[in-house]
Amino acid sequence: MSKKLPITIASWDYDRIRPIKDGTVPVEGCDVTYITTRPEETFFRLFTYQEFDVSEMSFSSYMLARTNIDFPYIALPIPISRVFAHSGIFIRTDRGIKRPEDLKGKIVGAPNYQLTRGLCIRGTLSDEYGVKPQHLKWRIGGLDVPEFLDYVPQEPPKGVEIEPIKPGQTLSAMLADGEIDAIFTAQTPLCWREKRPKIARLFANPREAEMAYFKKTGIFHIMHLIGMRKSLAEQYPWLPRAIMKAFEEAKALTQPHLTEVTAYVTMLPWLAYEAEATMAAMGEDYWPYGIERNVKTIDAQIRWSYEQGLSKKLWKKEELFHPATFTWFRSDRPGLSSSKATDASLAKWKKGQGPTMGVKRK
């Protein structure tokens, strides 16, 4: 019996990775130790100490690390975490901010300038509304607790005013007290959760804004990718594809649970309706892996990193992603897919073997 390659994989506890974590889906040829940590801890350990063989990593910080340090990892096009940018903008309602263009000249807080959510918020505001980073005054610091999330060293972009907040301060408290005008953040701030007065989202209906944005651009922002050690990819050329295949199959096994009404896996009473409405609006495989079906999003975020002064060069996809992943088969082409589970789950949904909840199947 041949010996399997021991590898460590680190990520947060997403539904789409659990079949790998519990051993239902193997990584071919590998003996996997799965380490589950929150993204903040994973990124600190990854970018500072390079502890893991395969790891979740911030897309923006990855590009910055490839620019500024000798970072020994290569990306795989597995968007393990995605979220649209619009819901992450919180404002004071007494500062005359009625539309995105009104942010010009305002003081905006952010946990860090390099974080991917901020990259995508700034990129979206620039592309869609003409609001550039240099139009804002940036204040950097902890959201709800005093801290600084600085995974990769960076120099402040030229022409952009960026200042740290004072020790002991938090952005949430500063927004509530009127010391800043807005916050761009990946997490909902405490002042919003506590329903403090004069605090609102810039987009009152972020879902509507995000759906319109997706329909117009085809972009579904990628927060985190999967990275692997370059040395492992060089020593074991089969490994990048094996990892891609495992993550694809794990996602394919997870998706049918979203429309299964026998016993919901999450505490959301209309989960199936939401899932099928999302499929109707964005496509059945609305969370695709691979380069081809994410090319618009990847190209936009690479461009934004350069335009915003984070990356010192305009990266090419071929430089950031392992070459073996460029020929990965699309999961929505029956008979050609790398994942039989993906084809089976989508075929089952098309045939009506599951709830319709009023959503028309294509």
Residue-wise pLDDT tens digits, 241-254: 999 999 999 999 99
Q: Parse the chain into domains and list their residue ranges.
A: 5-81+221-350, 86-217
CB 154 within 8 A of CB 62: no
DSSP class per residue in 135-161: GSEEEE--SSSS-----S--PPPTT-E
Which structure tokens are listed for 90? 């919180």
Give the Cα separation of 223 and 59 in Å (integer).
6
Q: Is pLDDT of 208 > 70? A: yes
Average pLDDT, integer, range 35-59: 96
**How confident is the model over 295-307, as pLDDT tens digits?**
999 999 999 999 9
pLDDT score recorded for residue 327: 80
Q: Is pLDDT of 351 > 80? A: no
CB 225 within 8 A of CB 76: yes
Q: Is pLDDT of 266 > 50? A: yes
CA-wise closest residue to 63 among 73, 52, 55:
73
Give the Cα separation of 171 and 176 in Å (integer).
9
Average pLDDT, integer, range 175-189: 97
DSSP state of 321: B
Domain at 5-81+221-350: CATH code: 3.40.190.10
Residue entry with tokens 């550039």: 132
Integer-rounded Cα radius of gyration of the chain: 21
Single-letter residue type at 112: N
pLDDT score recorded for residue 155: 85
Count other C-beta atoms under 10 Å from residue 336's C-beta: 10
**How confident is the model over 326-350, as pLDDT tens digits?**
885 544 433 333 444 444 444 544 4
Spell out the SS3 assignment of 176-208. HHCCCCEEECCCCCHHHHCCCCCEEECCCCHHH
Count other C-beta atoms under 10 Å from residue 211's C-beta: 17
pLDDT score recorded for residue 341: 43
Q: What interhelical angle do 239-254 and 340-350 show, nearest 10? A: 20
Count other C-beta atoms under 10 Å from residue 231's C-beta: 12
**Is 86-217 the same fold as 5-81+221-350?**
yes
Give the Cα separation of 284 and 334 in Å (integer).
13
Which structure tokens are listed for 13? 């506890």
Single-letter residue type at 36: T
Rounded to two decimals, the pTM is 0.89
Give the Cα separation of 112 and 169 in Å (integer).
14
pLDDT score recorded for residue 156: 86
pLDDT score recorded for residue 328: 59
CATH 1.10.357.10 is right for the domain spanning 86-217 = no
**How confident is the model over 82-134, as pLDDT tens digits?**
999 999 999 999 999 999 999 999 999 999 999 999 999 999 999 999 999 99
pLDDT score recorded for residue 147: 79
Sheet with strand 107-110: strands edge to edge: 161-164, 137-140, 107-110, 182-184, 89-92, 199-201
Q: What interhelical angle do 116-129 and 206-217 show, nearest 10? A: 70
pLDDT score recorded for residue 8: 98
Average pLDDT, integer, range 243-270: 93
CB 47 within 8 A of CB 61: yes
What residue spans of the chain are helical by DSSP H?
A: 18-21, 39-49, 59-68, 116-129, 171-177, 190-193, 206-217, 230-235, 239-254, 271-282, 295-307, 317-320, 340-350
Residue entry with tokens 């959301």: 268
Q: Is pLDDT of 359 > 60? A: no
Sheet with strand 5-11: strands edge to edge: 30-36, 5-11, 54-58, 222-229, 73-82
Higher pLDDT, 336 or 153: 153
141's CB contacts (< 8 A; 6+ apart) are 109, 111, 147, 148, 164, 165, 169, 170, 171
Across all residues in the chain, what is the average pLDDT? 90
Give the Cα separation of 342 and 298 in Å (integer).
23
